[in-house]
Each structure stands twice: as structure tokens, then as C-alpha cells.
Amino acid sequence: MTLLEFARGPALTVALTVFIAGTLWRIFRLATRPAPPDRSAPRVDAAAAGALLGILRRFWPHPRFGARIGFSVFIGYLYHIGLAVIVFAYLPHIEFIRKLIGVGWPALPAPVTYFAGGVTMFALLIALMLRLTDPVKRLLSRFDNYFSWLVVFLPVATGMAAFDTAAGGFNQTYIALHLLTVELFLLWFPFGKLMHAGLAFWSRGITGVKYGRRGAMP
Amino acid sequence: MSLESNRPAPERVAAAMNAFVRDFTRESAVHMDACIRCGHCAQACHFYTSTLDPKYTPINKLEPFLHAYRRTTAPWAPLARLLGAEKGVTLQELESWQELIYDACTMCGRCTLVCPMGIDIAALISRARHGMFAAGLVPEDLRAAAERAENEMSPLGATPKVLEERVDWLEDEHGVKIPLDLPQADVLVTFSSIEIMKYPHSLVAMAKVLKHAGESWTVSTKGYEATNFGMLSGNRDWQHDMSERIIDAAIACKAKTVVLPECGHAYGALRWEGANVHGAPLPFEVVHISEYLASLARKGRLRLKPLAKSLTFHDPCQVSRRGGASEAPREVLAALGVDLHEMGDHADAAWCCGGGGGVVAIKRADELRRGAFRIKMEEIDATGAELLATSCANCRLTFDDGAAYHKWNKSMQSLTELVAERLEG
């Protein structure tokens, strides 16, 4: 079995299994924590609106904090959007997803996704620099923060390196490494902060409901 | 040597852990799991902003609570224990975090405003205090105040007897009537001990307003003190007792409305937590005095002589940002006809005065609190307003202390007193 066959075969199966089972377990454990009812009389009886507002409002920083956190938010947006473009708009990735789940969609031109890859790597490096140099971020950072950064950065870096411009095609070893780093990402996803991809909506929604019913900013 | 220091460390840690685990509800768990450690919350905290010390980053104040969660309850807690990735919380860790959980957090909730995950850090701090209380790790002056509130009905010695004496004196001095213990009334009025002991004119102002409105009202000597030091200190049982006194008093006099005093945390404790502590919806409406005044103004029951001055309003965090009643005082100020000069950060975004959450009762926190108070001074000076007012006696006390310390020539006024002074007829 070659490295590529290993990456495409058993490694992918294990990674996807851990990713799906781990994510479901974490959601199940959180969902089954006790949730005492709020018996206070609501000022505004609109839980769904509160949740929705709470989720949507936090996509953009509160205007009073723009100057203080704007750069950090901007860098965050850069690599989040970049990652979305790479994962969901690059033709080989769409083909990979189509083979996996049977659903596909049109791709963006390859140069656009390569540009997105470059921007993403740059933004991730800036984010790491901020984490290492900002006293607050440095104090708060744990293994999870650095390892999560690594498992996001590696697939982008190996993916960018996989295209052999001289040969006009993909380097198979790099493709194998790329797949393995993606699998590392999948393996780590349920255990660390990467799960904020879904938890962000849940967390914002809870606060949105709570403060929305009080008539406060959700 | 305190009694607590005689308890074995493992027993105190176990008590803290048991209390922590009880508080790991779905909301707490999701919020702790969702944190990405971005540190944006630091930028919203008056204690971080005034010191630039990263330890005051709001989410960092919860480290022992987070450790306990990851070791006992988090989805991967069994794995963390198996791999030794999460050591147990030690007494030393809890002791070293006491300052951050009590002295350096007013539970103002400004950090939630900036958090991209919407984590309610103030609520988590409030829950973490339960464990700290169980471990005997409450700052002594705050604990003593809470104990007085539990045993004597007031953290500041405003016992029922003292209240009756004050009411007698105020009725004589100001020619007002403050009806005590009526068997039946539509409105039950409550006070803050700070008002009773330090700003008694607030009681007179309340009486004048209620008379002006032609309200049927009373004050109960069995449930008059609304600042809930049980909640602030982290003692769940005391919080329950303090809320129940007012609830029982309101039920006893068949009150339709309980009016809470100019006190932010009193609002959070009864308006938003009262029914949860009681275990059932409350059979009466709970309103803050600013909401009550706004309601009177809306109904045309507040006839006021205009106050032709410029004024800036300091929002009590628990009433505005965490309580949803930011507009009420502004309606009252509009009825007064003042020229309102808003601070740069106001209403939901207002900076805390630095004295909430019991911090003003903790002597050793004075320096930190007074440093943070500079933020308010600068914001208020920038408005150029002639007057400043608030609807929280605790904020007012913090302002008085801060102004005296910094030799600042401004004086905080009570919204209710301003209204009472301008009543027509």
C-alpha cells in the first residue's frame, strides 16, 4: 500500500469516523446537560427572534469596539473566508466531496482559489503572530489553540505545495501529505476549539434568547 | 485565623467542586466549550483597560471554573482524566483566583457585548462564586456584609428597627408619609440599604412620587431590602432567603407591583432571577424605579416642572445592558425636559462605574476600583454636561467615593430625587 493509498483508504475512514462520532458525542453531551427553565416574565416574548439576532449581530463587532478589536476581526475574517473558498470552491475539493457524499456544485477558477490559499496562509501567520505577541492572547492560549492553528495551516500549506508547476500536475507525495493533514484536522476537530464552527451558533443563540427576552441587546 | 482555615483543604476543594458541578448547566457548558480564547473580552473590561494587566481579561477570571468543568463534566472529561490532561483544582489555585472572581469583576456584562461567541461571562462568574463561597473563599468584608443581610435583613445595619426609626425621622423632617406594613396595597416599595443609611432622601423622593401618582403603596418591614448580597457573595441559600422575603411580603399585601429601588443588582436578583429562585412565576409585576417613573410619565401621571439644564446619565449595568431597561430613564429625563448629553459609551455599551458586583464592599479592591473609575470621569467630562444622574445607589456611592478620591468636582445625583424635586403641585 502506497502512502497515497493509505491516505485515501484506511486513514480517511478512521478520520471521518472519529470526526463524525466525536462531534456527535460532544453535541450529545452538551445537549444533555441540565437546562433549568427561565421562569421570569419576559419583557419581549420572542425567543426565536432573540436567538437569530444574537447569532447575526455577532458576525460584526459592536461599533464601540471596532477600533480595539477591528484588526483581529479582520484577520479572522480573512482566513475564514479564504478557507471557505479553498474548501468549497476549488474544483478538486468539490470532486472529492462529490465522491464522498454524492453532491457537487460549480467551482471558481483555479487562480482565484490559489489566491485565496495565499491570503489564507498569510492571515493565519498574522493570527499566530498576534497570539504569540499580544499579552492577553498569549496568556489565554493553550495547547488547543496552537495545535488547532497547526491542523488548519498544514492542509493549506501542503495543498498549495502539491501543485507542481514545472510538471503541470499534482505531486502525488504532497497529495498524500495533504490528505493526511486534512485527516489530522478531522481527527482533532471534535476535541478542541475547531468545533466553534458549530458551537458559535449555539452559544450566541443561548445568549440571544436570554437577553432578547429581557429586551436587552441579544 | 479564620474558621475556614481550620477546614481541611481537600474538604474545601471538594465543596467548591460540588458547587461548580451543580452550576455546569447547558448554558454554562456550551459557553465554556465555545470559547476560542481570542481575548476580545479584555477590551471591554474596565479593570483590564485601566491596568492593561492581562490577568484581568474576563475569561481568564474563570480559569478554576473552566478547569473544574474540563475535569468533571465536559464532553471529553473522562479522556482528560485518563490522559492526565486536566489536573484537579487546588486550594492554592482557588485562593489565587479569589481576587479575580470577586475584587476584579463587577459582573457588568460588557465583555459579553464584544464576545464573538456571545459568552455570558458575568453569569459564569456569578456561578463560579457559588463554589468560592462553598470553599470559604469570599473576601471577608463581602462575606460579613452578606451574613448581616441574611441575619439582620441588611448588609449595612438597616435592620427593621433602624428602618422604622428612619421612616419616623424622615416623615417628621420632610412631611411625607411612608406607610409601613399596610395589610393591602397595590404597590410594594423596596429600598437599598445604601439609600436607607447613606441617601435617605431617596426614600423621601420615592414617597413624594408615589403620593403624586396617587398610588396605593406600602413598605414591608419583613421584606424591604432589595440588594441581594446573598447573590453577590455566592451563597445560593442566602440569595433565596433574600428574594423570598420580598416575594412573601408582596404576596402578603396582595401587591400587583413590586417597585425595586435605585439598585442595579436588586433588579437582576428579583426581576430576572426572582422567579427562578422562587421556583415559579411571580404573581406580581417587578419593575425598577426608573421603569415605574417612565410608566407614570407615559400615562401622564407625572406632572413635572422642566429642568432646563444639560445632564448626562450613567446606566447601571444590571438595569440597562443586562436588564433591558435602557430606555426607561431616558423617557423620564425627556419628561423632565433636560438637555441629555450622552456619553460616548452609553446604554447597552456603557462602562461600569467599577463598584458593582459587591466590589465596592471589598476594601482591598479600592485601588483597582478607583483606577477603573477614571474611565467614567473622562467620559463624563467629555460630555460637558452640567449635571450627572443615575438610577443606582451603589453606582452613586462608587461615584461619591471616586470623586472624593480623585478630587473631581462632579457629584452624582439620583434620578428619582431629581424627579421628586420637580414635581408640580
What range does the domain containing A157 cover? 3-27+41-214
Assess if residue A35 is contained within a domain: no
Map grid coordinates 483597560 to a residue: B49
Assess if residue A49 is contained within a domain: yes
User: Is residue B284 over pLDDT 50?
Assistant: yes
CA distance B85 to chain A (A): 11
Q: Does the CB of B278 have a partner CB in chain A at under 8 Å?
A: yes
Q: How far apart are CA A106 and CA B378, in angstroms?
A: 55
Q: Which residues make up the CATH 1.20.1050 domain(s) of chain B?
A: 142-295
B81 CB burial (10 A radius; 0-12, 13-18, 19+): middle
CA distance A125 to chain B (A): 15
Write out pLDDT tens, residues B366-413.
999 999 999 999 999 999 999 999 999 999 999 999 999 999 999 999
Candidate from A61, A136, A193 with C-beta closest to B57: A136
User: Which pLDDT value is given to residue A163?
Assistant: 81
Confidence of residue A218 (pLDDT cuts 50, 70, 90): confident
Q: Which residues make up the CATH 3.40.50 domain(s) of chain B?
A: 303-421
Q: What is the ipTM of this complex?
A: 0.95
Identify the CATH number of the domain in which residue A67 sits.
1.20.950.20
A216/B321 CB distance under 8 A: yes
Chain A residues with CB inside 8 Å of B345's CB?
64
Confidence of residue B1 (pLDDT cuts 50, 70, 90): very low
- The average pLDDT across B250-274 equals 98
Chain B residues with CB inside 8 Å of A54's CB?
118
Grid coordinates belonging to B281: 412565576
User: Which pLDDT value is given to residue B2?
Assistant: 56
Assess if residue A60 is contained within a domain: yes
B280/A39 CB distance under 8 A: yes
User: Which pLDDT value is given to residue B311?
Assistant: 98
Contact B37, B66 (CB under 8 A): no
Q: How far apart are CA A38 and CA A210, in angstroms?
A: 9
Length of chain A in terms of residues written: 218
> In percent, how much of chain B has pLDDT > 90?
97
Assess if residue A74 is contained within a domain: yes
Chain A residues with CB inside 8 Å of B279's CB?
39
User: Which pLDDT value is given to residue A169?
Assistant: 81
Q: What mean pLDDT is reported for chain B? A: 96
Q: What mean pLDDT is reported for chain A? A: 95
Confidence of residue B425 (pLDDT cuts 50, 70, 90): confident
Indicate the class that CATH gives domain B3-137.
Answer: mainly alpha
Candidate from A72, A145, A217 with C-beta closest to B348: A217
- The average pLDDT across B289-305 equals 97
Candidate from B33, B326, B345 with C-beta closest to A199: B33
CATH architecture of the region B142-295: Up-down Bundle (1.20)
Q: How far apart are CA B123 and CA A32, in angstroms?
A: 20
User: Which pLDDT value is given to residue B6?
Assistant: 81
- The average pLDDT across B17-38 equals 96
Contact B359, B379 (CB under 8 A): no
Q: Does the CB of B110 have a partner CB in chain A at under 8 Å?
A: no
* Of residues B34 and A67, more confidently modeled: B34
Write out pLDDT tens, residues B91-115.
999 999 999 999 999 999 999 999 9
CA-closest candidate to residue B316, choices B382, B237, B262: B262
Assess if residue A177 is contained within a domain: yes
Write out pLDDT tens, residues B179-200.
999 999 999 999 999 999 999 9
User: Is residue B3 over pLDDT 80?
Assistant: no
Distances (CA, A) of B111 to B116, B292, B349: 10, 29, 10
Strands B285-288 and B257-260: parallel
- The residue type of B90 is T
Which residues, numbered 286 to 315 in chain B, qualify as contacts with chain A under a Cβ-Cβ cut-off of 8 Å? 286
Mutate to test the interface with B, among A18, A126, A203 (most CBs of B within 10 A): A203
User: Is residue B89 over pLDDT 50?
Assistant: yes
Confidence of residue A166 (pLDDT cuts 50, 70, 90): confident
Which residues, numbered 29 to 58 in chain B, qualify as contacts with chain A under a Cβ-Cβ cut-off of 8 Å? 29-31, 33-40, 42-44, 48, 52, 54-55, 57
Confidence of residue B4 (pLDDT cuts 50, 70, 90): low
Write out pLDDT tens, residues B200-244.
999 999 999 999 999 999 999 999 999 999 999 999 999 999 999
Which residues, numbered 314 to 353 in chain B, qualify as contacts with chain A under a Cβ-Cβ cut-off of 8 Å? 320-326, 344-345, 348-349
- The average pLDDT across A141-164 equals 95
Chain B residues with CB inside 8 Å of A197's CB?
none
Map grid coordinates 429642568 to a residue: B307
User: Which pLDDT value is given to residue A168?
Assistant: 76
Contact B188, B246 (CB under 8 A): yes
> In percent, how much of chain A has pLDDT > 70?
100
- The average pLDDT across A7-33 equals 97
Find, in chain A, the residue whose alpha carbon is nearest to that of B344: A64
Contact B94, B67 (CB under 8 A): no
Q: For B309, list phi and psi in degrees, rounded to 5.
A: -140, 160
CA distance A48 to chain B (A): 16
CA-closest candidate to residue B370, choices B319, B404, B394: B404
CA distance A187 to chain B (A): 14
Write out pLDDT tens, residues B304-340.
999 999 999 999 999 999 999 999 999 999 999 999 9
Contact B376, B314 (CB under 8 A): yes
Chain B residues with CB inside 8 Å of A36's CB?
25, 276
User: Is residue A198 over pLDDT 90?
Assistant: yes
Q: Indicate the number of domains in chain A.
A: 1
Q: How far apart are CA A140 and CA B252, in angstroms?
A: 51
- The average pLDDT across B165-187 equals 97
Grid coordinates belonging to A146: 496552537
From the candidate CATH numbers 1.25.40, 3.40.50, 2.40.128, 3.30.70, the one assigned to the domain spanning B303-421: 3.40.50
Contact A108, A90 (CB under 8 A): yes
Map grid coordinates 443586562 to a residue: B322
Q: Which residues make up the CATH 1.10.1060 domain(s) of chain B?
A: 3-137
